[in-house]
Amino acid sequence: MALIMLIDDEKEAMKYYIKALELSEFDFIRFGDPDEVMEYVLNKDKPKPDLVILDLIMPPGKRYKGKVECEEGIRTGYLLYEDLKDHYSNVTFLVLTNLKNAENDFQEIAPHVQVYLKNDVPPFDLIRLIKERL
């Protein structure tokens, strides 16, 4: 069974996506900040996900606190992606965000990563997107 890593700090906004994942055939783990994510990633005993769903706007946590790029959390997801890809080079990434210009910005960093606006992807469509990429 595929393992999905969901990274988003907005628990209330993600509740329907979480419910869809619970009803799917996928196992998933959810993280709300970059510190939790990297603690998991750096633990070699933890299983590697098959797919990562990443939000771009989230609090910087201790890892990125004080970095100009993360002021107000706007670029936290970009920096987290840069760290994650070093550890998960063969893992598929999807970006699910409310940041309207994210697709253009993110395509410069990682043209192979698909970016979706949360408002454009109903929860069960997310499951379809996951299945298409695995």
User: Which residues are paired to 5 by β-bridges?
Assistant: 29, 52
Q: What is the pLDDT of residue 27?
A: 94
93-133 pLDDT, tens digit each: 988 887 777 666 666 666 677 777 777 888 899 999 999 98
CATH code matching the domain that covers 3-133, chosen among 3.40.50.2300, 3.30.1600.10, 3.40.50.300, 3.30.1540.10:
3.40.50.2300
Q: What is the pLDDT of residue 74?
A: 66
Smallest CA-to-CA distance from 32 within 94, 92, 100, 80 is with 80
Q: What is the pLDDT of residue 68?
A: 56
**Residue 22: half-sphere exposure toward Cβ, Cα within 13 Å:** 7
E strands, 1-134, in order: 3-7, 27-31, 51-54, 92-97, 114-117
13-36 pLDDT, tens digit each: 889 999 999 999 899 999 998 999
Model confidence at 67: pLDDT above 80: no
Give residue 73's pLDDT band: very low, low, confident or very high (50, 70, 90). Answer: low
